[in-house]
Chains A and B, each alone.
Chain A
């Protein structure tokens, strides 16, 4: 991307503001005042986790120029870990054997599940395990200067293989049924309206936190370093920078954010299954970011929200139409709006009539 950095401070603030408003409105409207059904809140919560996932990808793709087409792997890792926690905690607490265990034919959980009923431990794993995997994989790839398209393909292959692995029953994670039957989260029954709204609010809050953090990070000197890496890594090396470490740092951070998003997503949909690992889903994340405009975190959020909302809306009455619409959207974005919706402002400005109105508004 050799375009000048698209810096939209106004848009960033607007987006952050909107997210904050939702974070506040959800518990109020959902709980006390009514007006938002738990179902609707749940959808908002899910979309928030997707938005966070998009931000995670934008950090590495929009700012460091590393495209991962397998980020679903980290998302799913967070999801599987939280699922394990929920199942174990629920079992320890209530003694009721979850469906998942019955399906697997277990009378008790395998050894490595030990301790997962404790939320702090589970949280620690959600941060550490995907981060560690990202570190290892990143180190191995970046060191040998695998980049660009090759890197993207290999991340795809990784998530594809993880999906195949998880589809097998004897991998021990429920096979293609996945894991479900979550009874409660942190001691609260998972289906209760207050919990649903609570989870949704937490998701939005986490999105806000992640968004603000990413915004801050990209404004620092580290952020500038990443942009330099994205635009001309070779040049940066000729200036004396070992680019391995900054890339590794942002790559691992991105993985952790994705995992956290996954850990919030799964309790809200009530199930995790290997389809989350499908390459198509991982590519969709890139589509969200590309649609919204990469390299300007608001774009990632906007893209994720628009496409997820569209999908939810359509799946109600025309699910077969969705792939066509998605494909159409991508093709339009890619051909007409190379920088995503953020280009829209520029395009509009070029339009004679609208352009004048817009400039007038700015000047007047």
Chain B
């Protein structure tokens, strides 16, 4: 038999190879682990960093192993034996290198490695890095990224590059890249630094601006400094534009609420010459109705809770309209020829409403749940985020504007309103039921205020006294815009809203109001009837 001798040779070699193959992966891990147990403090630190590197570079299984080890160290579950490290989990003992269970006897005598704060910082950093690499859930990765940004002890630029490349989620990818870039900013090679600057400059944000400014202050190389300078200037321009848009946007949302409130006022004043000092409270009722819808849904149909804002649209309108109609029917109808008395009466009603609400609901601010569709926003430019809650307010105002315009121009009801506004007696003689028009119009004006209350509930505080904040401005809108003019109300609301929002952060809310008032007083000198005078003889 000739092949037997060959077999005799091959077998040991194969065995050795098999054994060697099994042993080969273990050996590097053992080498990595050793200094953690036996080394001096500096070596321990280096070892942790190496383990992290090993994990990131190896990926997959290696990374999982590295994470396990580092977490064990961080959690004080690592144990050091004579020549190997172990992990203690509850009542079992695992080999740190293989993660296989071993018996206590095999492990022998164990001690804990020395751990200090510094080392824990490193292990935390390493853990973060590895979690960033391996965790399946993006939220967990995001959290890990936060850790890594703060604790850089185990982090190097090339590791980050690797992780960024492997990252699937685009947002996270960008964030990791930015972190990578900021590390690169400290790279010894000027070309790399320039690259990093350009990369960071892609995203215009306040954070990147300070990052670059900081880097530039320490920069010695003129070429790099120049690059940083120009990129910084670009970011600043974008940020400024974003800020401007943000201000305008805020102004628009405030103007939307003002518009809704003032529209109701203008409708009522235009028709009946009634100045409704209770308009602010009708807004408040709208807001409270919205809250009640929310609470009702919470109790009866929690699954629909998110839709409370939508459901509240008709409810807030109806609630305020109902109160308004009651006001009109019970009290105001008796006072039509005496505008100054109606002023006092509506003030008394406002007092009544505020205190009734206070007694029933208490004086505290109401809590509003933020459904998904009014949370967050769309990033538009620089730091300007177009928030959804403001968009909601603007949307409601636009819809209301269109609806009222259609109502006034295209329906019989609207025609009747306009007729009675211009000449009550003639309209009555023409067969229009002026009484009905009166209370329906009052209801419309009040309902609009209710919508204002709905629109502002995601934005402003809701409490019994909230009406006062809007009433003065609403009056200014009516005075400025001219009575009975829809377009005037829009323009006036926009103007006043924008001025308020622009001046407020710089000089304060009071200065804003003072300025608006002075402007209006000045404007009235020139055009006492407001932007758009009512047509026809009054």
Contacts and interface: CB of A to CB of B under 8 A. Distances in A.
Do A and B share a direct contact in the complex (Cβ within 8 angstroms)?
A: yes
Interface string A315-330: 0000010011011101
B524 A331 contact: no
Q: For the side of the interface on B, what is the size category?
A: 35 or more
Contacts of A254: none
Given A153-B475, A160-B472, A324 B352 contact: yes
A165 B514 CA distance: 9
Interface in B488-530: 508-510, 513-514, 517, 520-521, 524-526, 528
Contacts of B335: 334-335
Interface in B340-380: 340-341, 343-345, 347-349, 351-352, 354-355, 359
Contact of B343 (A143, A152, A161): A152
A56 to B, nearest CB: 17
Given A140-B521, A140-B525, A144-B524, A331 B349 contact: yes
Contacts of A280: 351
Interface in A310-364: 320, 323-324, 326-328, 330-331, 334-335, 338
B528 A144 contact: yes
Task: Say what secondary structure dominates the interface of chain A.
Answer: helix
B348 A334 contact: yes
B514 A161 contact: yes
Given A140-B525, A148-B339, A161-B514, A327 B331 contact: no
Given A152-B340, A156-B472, A330-B345, A161 B510 contact: yes
Given A161-B510, A335-B334, A150 B524 contact: yes
Given A160-B472, A165-B514, A327 B349 contact: yes
Given A334-B341, A335-B335, A338-B338, A161 B513 contact: yes
A157 B344 contact: no
Interface stretch (A71-79, A208-216, A283-291): A283-291
Chain A CB within 10 A, most for which of B347, B472, B513, B525: B347
Contacts of A129: none
A164 B334 contact: no
B334 A157 contact: no
Q: Chain B: interface secondary structure?
A: helix
Contacts of A158: 517
Contact of A338 (B341, B355, B517): B341
Nearest to A171: B510
Interface in B316-339: 331, 334-335, 338-339
A104 interface: no
B524 A335 contact: no
Interface range on chain A: under 10, 10 to 19, 20 to 34, or 35 or more?
A: 35 or more
Interface in A166-191: 168
Interface of B: 269, 273, 275, 277, 331, 334-335, 338-341, 343-345, 347-349, 351-352, 354-355, 359, 468, 472, 475-476, 479, 508-510, 513-514, 517, 520-521, 524-526, 528
Given A154-B521, A164-B509, A279-B468, 20 more contacts: A67-B340, A141-B521, A144-B525, A144-B526, A146-B524, A148-B339, A148-B340, A149-B275, A152-B275, A157-B517, A160-B513, A161-B517, A168-B508, A279-B472, A327-B349, A327-B352, A330-B344, A330-B347, A330-B351, A331-B331
18 contacts: A67-B340, A141-B521, A144-B525, A146-B528, A152-B275, A152-B340, A156-B475, A161-B513, A161-B514, A283-B277, A320-B359, A327-B352, A327-B355, A330-B345, A330-B347, A331-B331, A335-B334, A335-B345
Interface of A: 67, 69, 140-141, 143-146, 148-150, 152-154, 156-158, 160-161, 164-165, 168, 279-280, 283, 286-287, 290, 320, 323-324, 326-328, 330-331, 334-335, 338
